[in-house]
Amino acid sequence: MYQLLRAPLQPVTYSRWLHLCVPTLLLALWMFIKPAWPWMPLVIVIPFGLVPWVRLAEGLQAQFLLTPHDRGNPDSGISAAPSARWGDRWRTLLWLEARLVIALAAMAATVLLPVTTVELIAAALGHPLNSDLLIPFAPPRWAAALLVPVPLVLLVVIVVLLGELVTSVAHRLLGPSAAERLTALEARTEQLLERTRIARELHDSIGHALTVAVLQAGAARAAGDPEFTDRALGAIEETGRVALEDLERVLLVLRESPQPASQRPTLAEADRLLESARASGAEVDAQLKGRLELLPGPVTREGYRILQEALTNVLRHCGPVPVRVRVEMAVGRLDMEVTNPLPEGPTFMPGSGSGLRGMRERAALLGGEAETGPFEGGWRVRARLPLERMSAYGLFSPVAYGRTSPALTAGSGSTAEDLG
């Protein structure tokens, strides 16, 4: 009842009313051609319902007039796409037929009820009524005056109810099919995954650069040595330059640039991470075994980020402490391990813990695993990334690391980025 009282003040009531009146133009045009066959428009629309682009036009019109508050919303329940299958075409045909029938009822009410109101006004003013009018009898003037608003109220009620009916039918017959829902869900999932990946890229690269810069600046101020300060400023400059390059890569992705994924940093460039940590005062004992430049694109890129996050966490939480780094290409997998002693006092910098979760997620996306936690009185990050899965896609051959797979070039990414 409350919705009926509010209906005359809602713009959607009149937009739906307009939607109900549009199909009657076809009926009115046909009445000039063959008034004896008023049912003929129901036959005329049959071939139009089988045209794929008619579904697109009807969907856009329904979104604009029936659900204007949800226009542009992919979850509005009304599809705006051409018919892709015969099932969509038959549903479009049924929609055209139902729309004509509902529109005919709406137009009858739109014409007859206002005419009835005019007749009641005439009767209330004392004008004589003839037999051609809609009112079957001449009511007393006082009764006619009381009945004047009734047809208009009834018209509003009918328009609101028919508007709700045609909207419900539109959701059912013009709504997305199961295939369209699946496509939209896949697109939404891809979008969320891409946003998550970009967030990880920013967290890893920019977080590492800021951590190194803060440590270098603090050490330079505490040392009070001009020569040490010059070296610290040089390290900050180099780290900032690398961070800007990483940031530019991420921005190119956001701009939908055709920047290939292979230009992202890889484990073949791990030396710059190690030198950055050493420049911050950490004693890094690193052993990199195997030809890392032959790693598949997804493994080498995600491995670089895992190593970067592990070193960043050491500098952020423990400061310039000894760090042991081991990266080895074993048979069928890449093993990575970063260990360091824990500080005796409180952590050097607070953190949210998202970096540890990010490392585990990166490894899981490749079918591997990453473990983080206390180990023999210190802290250890260990990751194992499988290589067999990559070879199944023709990207890597886990035999004799001295040979290069025909499908692999150094730093290649190709379509394997989808796996990472």
Lowest mean pLDDT among 67-71, 146-150, 157-161: 67-71
CA-wise closest residue to 96 among 32, 166, 34: 166
CB 313 within 8 A of CB 279: no
Helices (H), 125-177: 141-147, 149-173
Put residue 281 in one of left, alpha, beta given phi > 0 → left and psi -120 to 50 → alpha. Answer: left
pLDDT tier at 8, thresholds 50, 70, 90: confident
- Specify the residue for token string 């009524």: 129
Cβ atoms within 10 Å, residue 275: 15
Sheet holding 378-386, edge to edge: 284-289, 323-330, 333-341, 378-386, 369-375
For residue 367, pLDDT beyond 90: no
Which pLDDT value is given to residue 380? Answer: 93
Give the DSSP per-residue string, 38-68: TTHHHHHHHHHHTSHHHHHHHHHHHHHHT-G
Lowest mean pLDDT among 23-27, 126-130, 280-284, 313-317: 126-130
CA–CA separation, 212 and 349 (whole Å): 12
CA–CA separation, 97 and 108 (whole Å): 17
- Using the 8-state DSSP alphabet, how is residue 269 labeled? G
At 326, the amino acid letter reads: R
Tokens standing for 152?
Answer: 């208009």
Distance of CA 198 to the CA centre of its chain: 14
CA-wise closest residue to 212 among 270, 281, 268: 281
Whole-model pTM: value is 0.46
pLDDT tier at 179, thresholds 50, 70, 90: low
Lowest mean pLDDT among 49-63, 262-276, 296-310: 262-276
